[in-house]
Chain A
Amino acid sequence: MTTAVTTKRVAIASGKGGTGKTTLAVNLAHYLAKKHDTLLVDLDVEEPNCHIFIKGKPRQKETAKRMVPGWDIKSCSMCGKCVTWCRFNSLIRLGNTILVLPELCHGCHLCSELCPDAALPMQAFPLGTMSWIKDGALDFIEARLQIGVEQASPLIGQTLNYVDTHFAGKEFQLLDSPPGTSCSMIAATKTADFALLVTEPTPFGLHDLSLAVETLRQLKIPIAVIINRSGANDGIIEEYCSSEDIPIWSKIPHLRRIAGLYSEGQLLYEQVPELRASLDQIIAQLEELP
């Protein structure tokens, strides 16, 4: 018997890449795990980097798969309906052959279920891997897209299903989300209860932050901002956040020492007191979340 806990699922996102999203995610998760039952999930599946900082024992690794049609030459009467139905051009007719292009398939099952000859049975196609790693008190799941696979969102969705099945009782689930505002970022953030947006005080940081804010508002997810590489130019982010009524939870100072330790793949909060102070501020706010 486990006692019921409320799980707080927090996405760590940013419009712009390279603002320090992963740095915050790994340090926050590692530090938070000392006090609370915490899971970190790397959903930046195209370029997953959390594993560089979280060094633990691999518990489980599985191949994530997606169902795509395979062509059964013996049953097919070459009616060609499947080719006209498929809106993703993943079925092509070449002479007396139906060619399936699994990279383009969205997995709708239309062709397979409506084929009059039942000649397109669905079969598994690998998308990437999901690994479960344990680092002390912290549980960590990494999802990694196989190179050449175009669609990141199905792997993200499957990873979140895996999390729901195996880690529902966690106090905190932190999701390191992909940059940008397109479908993969939405797939990673849409089930979150809250999102932390990491930005930097430059016009690029501000512009991409405003896109991420619009996206998360559309998803109706409450947000707070963390200013990374904070310094003399913080004003542009502060003005924006104040006019949009978005709380700024913390500022992480711009220190070359942080960039150096990051480049070596080291966790920072034990060595950089400025960062630990920021994490304390963030954790205090996270604990207050409903």
Chain B
Amino acid sequence: MKEIVVISGKGGTGKTSVCAALAYVKPDEMVLADCDVDASDMHLIFQPKVHKDEPFFSGVKAVIDPALCTNCGKCASICRFDAIRQDEAAHFVDLLDCEGCGYCALICPVNAITMPKQKVGRVFGSDTRTGTPMAHARLDIGADNSGKLVAKVKSDSKALATKHSRDYILVDGSPGIGCPVIASLAGADLALVVTEPSISGFEDLKRVCELASKFDLKMACVINKADLNPKIASEIRNTMKHRNIPILMELPYSNDFSEAISLGKTLVEYNAPQWQAQFERLWEKIIKEL
């Protein structure tokens, strides 16, 4: 079983559109995993039929029992996150600021503080309209632990792949280089970076390449909107060559991306003559890299 993680550094480069098009041309070869858990969009294209829907618990937060609290204020004095507030009768915890370290619970002289597990989102196991199984999730508003939720979606997608005898897992990652991205790269066999030739896209590409190299990950690149800025596109080609990262495909700037999304379709469904062969070829190249 091999895992391909699609990332971008910068948002809006076409990461999800590329994933969706690949999943559409090879519906029987893979399982999809949408790991962009705080802004997941893949389900808008694949209208999954959800057959598993479970709450996901991760981490703990402090809760003060007002009946036990003597309002001594020790908890507030040691909290580094200013998460503990006070009203007339008792102290209470602002859950948005609590990091769940448990320091307050440990030192409370009357044991008024407990650290219950937190529900941070929901995880789903689904069948998409094209027949590809998909693992996805929804992070609760304002919840922490997005990295843990990403790891859960990945492990669920592996179980789906075993169950459906699929050899590949295609992971739609999130933008950036922080904890959800690091969690999505853990254990991957190939990181496919979708970039665009803008100065921002190029800078973000370099940061994400540096991150992946810290994990000693094999990488490949797709340049989207390649004709937008030929000068930067050629700088990207040089940098990728220098880093030994193959460019598997270059796509032109095209309104098809947003038009297809607007209709809830993949690029290939929207305009098959333009895109079908390209994405079939891209998939072959990805397999060759693995």
Give A contacts to B, CB under 8 Å: 15-19, 22, 46-47, 49, 52, 85, 87-88, 106-110, 113-114, 145, 147-152, 178-186, 190, 200-204, 207-208, 211, 214-215, 218-219, 229, 233, 256, 259-260, 262-265
Contact = CB atoms under 8 A, between A and B. Distances in A.
A211 B39 contact: yes
A203 B44 contact: yes
A178 B146 CA distance: 14
A17 B11 contact: yes
A207 B42 CA distance: 11
A264 B175 contact: no
Contacts of A150: 147, 178-179, 182
A180 B38 contact: yes
Contacts of B182: 150
Contacts of A218: 141-142
Given A52-B203, A110-B106, A182 B139 contact: yes
21 contacts: A16-B11, A16-B41, A18-B12, A46-B178, A46-B181, A47-B10, A49-B203, A49-B204, A108-B80, A110-B101, A147-B214, A179-B39, A180-B175, A201-B262, A202-B262, A203-B41, A203-B264, A204-B41, A207-B39, A215-B142, A264-B229
Contacts of A19: 11-12
B86 interface: no
Q: How many interface residues does chain B have, given as a range?
A: 35 or more
Contact of A215 (B141, B225, B264): B141
Contacts of B102: 85, 87, 110
Nearest to A113: B78
B228 interface: yes
A110 B143 contact: no
Most chain B CB inside 10 Å of its own CB: which residue of A16, A201, A214: A16
A151 B145 CA distance: 11
Q: Is the interface of B mostly helix, strand, loop or mixed?
A: loop
Most chain B CB inside 10 Å of its own CB: which residue of A15, A22, A180, A259: A180
B251 interface: no
Interface stretch (B27-35, B128-136, B153-161, B193-201): B193-201
Given A46-B178, A152-B178, A256-B253, A110 B204 contact: no
B199 A47 contact: no
A157 to B, nearest CB: 9
Interface of B: 8-13, 16, 37-39, 41, 44, 59-60, 78, 80-81, 96, 99-103, 106-107, 115, 139, 141-144, 146-147, 174-182, 196-201, 203-204, 207, 210-211, 214, 225, 228-229, 232, 253, 258, 261-262, 264
Contacts of B146: 182-183
Contacts of A113: 78, 103
Contacts of A200: 258
A17 B12 contact: yes
Nearest to B102: A87
B106 A85 contact: yes
Nearest to B146: A182
Most chain B CB inside 10 Å of its own CB: which residue of A149, A183, A186, A190: A183
Nearest to B255: A254
Contacts of A107: 80
A105 to B, nearest CB: 10
A233 B200 CA distance: 27
Nearest to B140: A181
Contact of A87 (B100, B178, B181, B225): B100
B39 A181 contact: yes
A94 to B, nearest CB: 21
Given A87-B100, A87-B101, A47 B207 contact: yes
A81 B264 CA distance: 54
A263 B200 CA distance: 7
Contacts of B177: 46-47, 145, 147
Contact of A263 (B8, B78, B143, B232): B232
Nearest to A86: B101
A272 to B, nearest CB: 16
B63 to A, nearest CB: 15
B100 A208 contact: no
